[in-house]
């Protein structure tokens, strides 16, 4: 618990309108609950301890369950329906799972959960091919074919997503704005909003800014909130951020 | 070619209607045929500030719904033949607005007027989006405080994403920053954001700084746009703003805190 992931609607800007409904793409940061056991009572107990310790941040939060560390051959099979209702009792709302094998994906779908990116590809569900290990995304996502370049300021309420590539912002990213990339993020003005690099699990992604004063930065789901300017002595300076052993490290450029 | 200018801010109560009235009156006074439209359905403020509330018979929504013609709804300003007002209605029928219907009215206005000034409601909801949709240029009204600047940033994002120019990939809307209710003393003492801070945060060019002034309230109480109060600093500041909009190069005024005289300082007055 404590990492987070991005589910990215592909069509951030496009909207499809009909009379009764409106389909929009949107990007959300969701907390991920990584399970290390299939033992439901144990899971419940540990979570209660966490919540009692004041992790109220997660209360009423939509949650993604990560099965990467689960080996059902060794342990018991996970009862998805039971887990969902147990979490629900703790006011945690499971919206999906990731890092599933095809069989788990089928069970998750049957329990009404979505199967998210970072798990297996769609066609594998039908073909039943076993791809229990998630594909290492690093090298693939890094060799960006194109770079998304933004010339205007990214303003409060706006979101830019560079899918499958790097993002370069030649202006500023303002407070309340969010820039997201599967690759690296470069900001040649001030980074004052949120920046999430390597969102499809690219732990090698970096964030560069001419003036680093973000609200939040994240690399491959590891995030840090800067709620006070003296969180780092590089705050307000030219700096870069990378991931070292799941820890965000800020360094001068 | 006529121009549509939206006066918008995101945040409420920052001076959009005051600015719309004075800006439109200033353009008209310089000989340009100008109409100012109140997009703030349900509130009806512009007609009060312009002093024509008693002459409102039909309004913008009536025109949209084909219950009245534009000619019937337009009110001519009592002292300037070049200036017309299209008032909002008090019926809370915000759903009357559609891009298509508003577009039809704007097109018709373009035939008769040089400048079409759209006084936007606060917020980023439908009314505000309608007011900015057809804009060629925008006056972004901002007070020197963080929440106002944030909201202006938000609305600037809307201009570059939700306007017709943005959607059709045309040349972007020309954006101008208007800082209103500016108090040099309070900016100097750090109580308010400085002009530099605001410009740095928003990244658009400053076209006017309107000082905080009693004259604004007095003018709107008497139904005369403050730009016509030639004695007042805010009136003069609006004059300068209009001149800059029309391409004149005029330095900003009223930015310095008033230096207290020796005696005043001495006696602490
Ligand atoms: N420069 C100024 N000095 C003093 N008071 C001002 C100034 N500008 C505006 N005001 C006052 O601030 C109040 C709000 O102004 P105004 O109605 O123009 O804002 P608005 O942005 O149109 O508000 P709304 O969002 O409700 O439409 C009014 O009482 C007005 O008299
Ligand atoms: Mg108003």
Ligand (nearest to CA of B148): 1
Looking from the CA of residue B19, the nearest atom of ligand 1 is 18
Nearest of B172, B178, B165, B189 to residue B139 by alpha carbon: B178
| Ligand 2 centre distance from Cα of residue B200 (Å) | 26
d(CA A172, CA A195): 12
DSSP readout, chain A?
--EEEEEE-S-SS-EEE-SS-EEE--EEEEEEEE-S---HHHHHHHHHHHHHTT-GGGTT-EEEEE-TT--TTTSPPP-HHHHHHHHHHTT-EEEEEES--HHHHHHHHHTTPEEPTTS--HHHHHH-----SPPP-HHHHHS-SSEEEE-SPBPTT-EEEETTSEEEESS-B-TT-EEEESS-EEEEEEE-SEEEESTTT-TT--EEEEEE--SEEEETTEEEE--SGGG-TTTTEEEEEEEETTEEEEEE-
Looking from the CA of residue B234, the nearest atom of ligand 1 is 1
For chain B, say whether A25 makes contact (Cβ under 8 Å).
Answer: no
* Average pLDDT along chain B: 92
Average pLDDT over residues B129-142: 98
Q: What is the pLDDT of residue B225?
A: 97
Which residue would you say has higher pLDDT here, A114 or B14?
Answer: B14
Q: Give the angle B65-B58-B110 at the CA atoms, nearest 5°.
A: 70
Strand order across the B115-119 sheet: B75-76, B83-86, B34-38, B115-119, B3-8, B137-142, B174-182, B205-211
B17-44 per-position pLDDT tens digit: 999 999 999 999 999 999 999 999 877 7
Ligand (nearest to CA of B241): 1
> Phi and psi for B190 in degrees, rounded to 5?
85, 5
Interface of B with A (CB under 8 A): 124, 150-151, 153-154, 156-158, 160-161, 201, 203
User: Contact, A178 vs A218, CB < 8 A?
Assistant: no
State the 10-residue block means of pLDDT for chain A, 253 residues long. 41 50 69 82 80 59 82 77 85 84 86 69 31 36 66 94 94 95 96 94 95 94 79 88 92 93
Chain A residue closest in CA terms to B146 = A175
| Three-state secondary-structure class, residue B113 | coil
Q: Between chain A and chain B, how many beta carbons pairs sit less than 8 Å apart?
A: 31
Assess whether the C-beta atom of B16 lies below 6 angstroms from ligand 1: yes
Average pLDDT over residues B216-237: 96
Pairing mode, if any, of strands A15-17 and A22-24?
A: antiparallel
Looking from the CA of residue B180, the nearest atom of ligand 1 is 1
Percentage of chain B beyond pLDDT 70 is 94
Looking from the CA of residue B121, the nearest atom of ligand 1 is 27
pLDDT band for B261, please (50, 70, 90 cuts).
low
| Ligand 2 centre distance from Cα of residue B14 (Å) | 8
Among A102-106, A182-186, B161-165, B167-171, name the one with the lowest average pLDDT: A102-106
Chain A hits for B153, Cβ within 8 Å = 155-156, 174-176
| Ligand 2 centre distance from Cα of residue B112 (Å) | 25
pLDDT at B182 over 50: yes
Tokens of A176: 């309340």
| Ligand 1 centre distance from Cα of residue A161 (Å) | 38
Tokens of A148: 């998304």
pLDDT at B61 over 80: yes
Assess whether the C-beta atom of B187 lies below 6 angstroms from ligand 1: no
Question: What one-character DSSP code corresponds to residue B41?
Answer: T
Assess whether the C-beta atom of B213 lies below 6 angstroms from ligand 1: yes
d(CA A147, CA A137): 18
In this complex, do A175 and B156 lie within 8 Å of one another by their Cβ atoms?
no
Q: What is the pLDDT of residue B93?
A: 72
Q: What is the pLDDT of residue A6?
A: 41
pLDDT at B266 over 70: no
Ligand (nearest to CA of B220): 1
Among A27-36, B61-70, B137-146, name the one with the lowest average pLDDT: A27-36
Q: What is the pLDDT of residue B118?
A: 98
């Amino acid at each position: 618990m404590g990492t987070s992931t991005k589910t990215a609607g592909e069509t951030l800007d496009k909207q499809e309108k009909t009379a009764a409904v409106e389909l929009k793409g949107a990007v959300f940061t969701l907390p991920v609950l990584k399970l290390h056991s299939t033992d439901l009572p144990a899971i419940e107990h540990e979570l209660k301890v966490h919540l009692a310790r004041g992790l109220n941040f997660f209360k009423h939060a939509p949650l993604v369950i990560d099965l990467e560390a689960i080996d059902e051959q060794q342990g018991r099979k996970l009862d998805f329906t039971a887990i969902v209702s147990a979490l629900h009792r703790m006011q945690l709302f499971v919206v999906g799972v990731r890092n599933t094998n095809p069989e788990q994906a089928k069970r998750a779908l049957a329990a009404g959960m979505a199967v998210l990116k970072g798990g297996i590809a769609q066609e594998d569900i039908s073909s039943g091919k076993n791809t229990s290990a998630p594909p290492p995304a690093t090298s693939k996502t890094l060799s960006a074919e194109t770079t998304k370049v933004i010339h205007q300021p990214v303003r409060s309420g706006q979101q830019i997503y560079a899918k499958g590539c790097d993002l370069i912002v030649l202006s500023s990213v303002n407070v309340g704005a969010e820039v997201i990339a599967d690759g690296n993020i470069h900001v040649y003005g001030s980074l004052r909003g949120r920046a999430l690099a390597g969102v499809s699990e690219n732990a090698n992604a970096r964030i560069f800014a001419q003036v680093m004063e973000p609200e939040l930065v994240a690399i491959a789901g590891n995030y840090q909130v800067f709620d006070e300017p003296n969180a780092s002595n590089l705050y307000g300076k030219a700096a870069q951020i990378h991931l070292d052993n799941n820890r965000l490290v800020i360094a001068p450029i | 070619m006529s121009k549509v200018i939206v006066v918008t801010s995101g945040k409420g109560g920052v001076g959009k209607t005051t600015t719309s009235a004075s800006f439109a009156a200033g353009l008209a006074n310089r000989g340009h045929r100008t109409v100012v439209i109140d997009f703030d359905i349900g509130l009806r403020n512009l007609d009060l500030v312009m002093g024509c509330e008693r002459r409102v018979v039909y309004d913008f929504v009536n025109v949209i719904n084909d219950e009245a013609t534009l000619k019937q709804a337009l009110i001519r300003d009592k002292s300037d033949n070049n200036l017309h007002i299209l008032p909002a209605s008090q019926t809370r029928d915000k759903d009357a607005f559609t891009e298509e219907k508003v577009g039809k009215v704007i097109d018709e206005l373009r035939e008769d007027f040089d400048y079409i000034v759209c006084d936007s409601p606060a917020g980023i909801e439908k009314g505000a989006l309608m007011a900015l949709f057809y804009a060629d240029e925008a006056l972004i009204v901002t007070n020197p405080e963080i929440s106002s600047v944030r909201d202006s940033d938000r609305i600037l994002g809307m201009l570059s994403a939700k306007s017709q120019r943005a959607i059709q990939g045309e040349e972007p809307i020309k954006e101008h920053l208007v800082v209103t209710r500016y108090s040099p003393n309070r900016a100097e003492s750090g109580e308010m954001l400085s002009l530099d801070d605001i410009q740095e945060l928003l990244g658009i060019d400053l076209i006017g700084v309107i000082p905080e002034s009693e004259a604004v309230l007095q003018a709107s109480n008497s139904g005369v746009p403050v730009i016509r109060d030639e004695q007042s600093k805010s009136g003069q500041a609006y004059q300068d703003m209009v001149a800059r909009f029309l391409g004149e190069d005029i330095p900003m005024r009223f930015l310095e805190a008033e230096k207290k005289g020796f005696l005043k300082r001495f006696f602490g007055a």
